[in-house]
Amino acid sequence: MSDRIGGGNLVMGVPKEAFRPSPIFLGLVALFVTAGAMAWTGFGNVAFDVFLLVVTGWLISLCLHEYAHALVAFRSGDVDAAHRGYLTLNPLKYSHPLLSIVLPVIVVVLGGIGLPGGAVWVNHGALRSRLRSSLVSLAGPATNLVLAIVLALPFVFGVTGETHTEFWAGLALLGFLQLTAAVLNLIPVPGLDGGNIARPWLPFSWKRTWDVIAPFGFIMLFALLWNPTIGGAFFDVVFTLGDLIGMPSYLYGDGFALLRFWNYPAN
């Protein structure tokens, strides 16, 4: 049976409007491109340009991360993912704006870590199998990994950052943020994507305990990263992955310094 119903006006019973990118997302993309042009040309305060480039780029990646969850859920049987507005790439649709948008941006600026952000509510009972349920959770971190690879491509093809250094430093930092998000989300902590990937395969008795712990997953994650040994191992994994895909680690520090523009020396 075709997914398209009603002369092409519906997709799986959902109006096509539910799949159109929201003005907020398109505005973020426009701001990202503008910030990139400003950083490239050194317009005004170049450190602020990089801040704007990285923050808008990170917000776009949050939208794409959650969109990937919702799209796989939709294709796996949870049609309500479209009705909830998740497929419009509107960041305001993804859980609580403070926890989903503001907090991740603060952690990026202060800690240089791509904290998992918003969340889409998925009706796992509507999904067709345990494998589909796991794939819904995997889709988000996989998107971050793909974005990291795309951002690494200029460096793979010879960009060194010797010219337009601030622009390339910001791009490299954004790429490393994608890697931190992918690695964090794949840690099998209850409540995070990694835990949700494993959950469908757990015995029923384990799931009950898992669900009790899940709301505290973020706290567990912070506690783990606060440990110097675990935190150091985490960044070792991130920079090893960066080396594998060709992301220049020497630009990460420059990008992070520029991101905190209030501490960066004026031109």
Q: Which of 17, 66, 162, 166 is catalytic?
A: 66
Residue 173, Ramachandran bin (φ over 0: left; ψ between -120 and 50: alpha; else beta): alpha
Known active-site residue 162:
no
Give the phi and the psi of residue 208 in degrees, each rounded to 5.
-65, -45
Calpha distance 143→224 (Å, rounded)? 24
Place of tokens 């603060």: 106
- For residues 135 and 76, the answer to whether their CB atoms sit within 8 Å is yes
Amino acid symbol at 178: Q
Where is 11: in which H helix or E strand? strand 10-11
Give Dmax (Cα) for the chain. 62
Place of tokens 């491509």: 153
Calpha distance 189→59 (Å, rounded)? 23
Sign of CA dihedral 140, 141, 142, 144: positive
- For residues 43 and 49, the answer to whether their CB atoms sit within 8 Å is yes
**Which residues are annotated as catalytic?**
66
